[in-house]
Chains A and B, each alone.
Chain A
Amino acid sequence: MLSIHLILFLAFGAVAAAGAINLLVQRHPINAALSLIAVMAALAGEYMLLGAEFVAAVQVIVYAGAIMVLFVFVIMLLNAGVEEQTKGSRVAIVFGVPGMLLGSLLIAWVVLKHSGTGDVAVGALPGAPNVIGQLLFHEFLLPFEVTSILILIAIMGAVVLASKPPVPGGGPAKKVQD
């Protein structure tokens, strides 16, 4: 019997899987980036089904919003064109593809038959933002502060790496440490 929950799960899951496969098929990076945005939006729907409202909101804002805007911006900045195809190695075709199919079938069978876990109801998690905030600022306070230092270092690293190297022929060049 198809419940509305299962139908919604299958719809979002189909969008996510199709977007992931489309990322593999597309040759142009901008098309791959747009299909990745579709995957992330569908995953936000899955998080809403699980009741993780905060994670769904952050997924849309941070992942589909900020990170993918950065990707699209860099693709346009570097004027990336259609990628060249190279011939795959024979070892990958002879051993890799059957091995991958066999392994994924085995893993899917084990997960589906022997997980022994029950169902997950709609909104199974009390994932409201205030609950997450309580947890984040009491139990996980130290990791939270450490990630803020990580973000600071990442900002400085990005600025240093992406800044222009000094002009060799004089001029008011900025000093860049190598």
Chain B
Amino acid sequence: MVPISYYLVLSGILFACGVCGFLIKRNIITIFMSIELMLNGVNLSFVAFAAHWHQLAGQVFVFFVMVVAAAEAAVGLAIIIAVYRTRETLNIDQVNLLKL
């Protein structure tokens, strides 16, 4: 038997690592991966609460989060390719204009 708070602490650790990576990383792809890490941390807390309250709807929400993450990854990586094609760099410090 594992208390639900352990799951929540693990989910918090993953989310905090995602936030740190988002803030301190300079590579645009790594920043994008940090966002995926944050989504994973939230998914874990969804499933832990679903198990605690015996509500299956939490798992369906995780399914929807995964769908949105897949769509986001496809569009985001396409944007990264478009940015790299015009600027020849992946450093976020040199990408400071919205104009392509």
Contacts and interface: CB of A to CB of B under 8 A. Distances in A.
Interface of A: 3, 5-6, 9, 13, 16-17, 20-21, 23-24, 29, 32-33, 36, 39-40, 43, 46-47, 49-52, 54-55, 58-59, 62-63, 66-67, 70-71, 74-75, 77-78, 80, 83-86, 88, 92, 100, 104, 107-108, 111-112, 115, 117-121, 124-127, 131-132, 135-136, 139-140, 143, 147, 150-151, 153-155, 157-162, 164-165
Contacts of B85: 164-165
Interface string B9-25: 11011101110110111
B10 A74 contact: no
A14 to B, nearest CB: 10
Contacts of B23: 92
Nearest to B81: A162
Given A23-B33, A54-B59, A83 B73 contact: no
Secondary structure of the A side of the interface? Answer: helix
Closest 7 CB pairs of A and B: A154-B71, A119-B1, A20-B17, A161-B78, A83-B27, A162-B78, A158-B78
Interface in B61-100: 62-64, 66-75, 77-82, 84-85, 90-91, 93
Given A124-B54, A162-B77, 17 more contacts: A3-B1, A6-B1, A17-B13, A24-B17, A39-B40, A46-B44, A54-B63, A74-B80, A75-B29, A84-B26, A92-B23, A104-B12, A111-B5, A117-B3, A120-B52, A127-B56, A160-B78
Contacts, number: 227
Nearest to A107: B12
A117 B21 CA distance: 31
Interface residues of B, number: 67
A125 B54 contact: yes
A67 B17 contact: no
Given A24-B20, A78-B80, A39 B37 contact: yes
A16 to B, nearest CB: 6
B56 A125 contact: yes
A51 B52 CA distance: 11
B30 A154 contact: no
B21 A24 contact: yes
B90 A80 contact: yes
A150 B71 CA distance: 7
B51 A63 contact: no
Given A46-B44, A67-B69, A83 B62 contact: no
B47 A17 contact: no
Contacts of B16: 100, 104
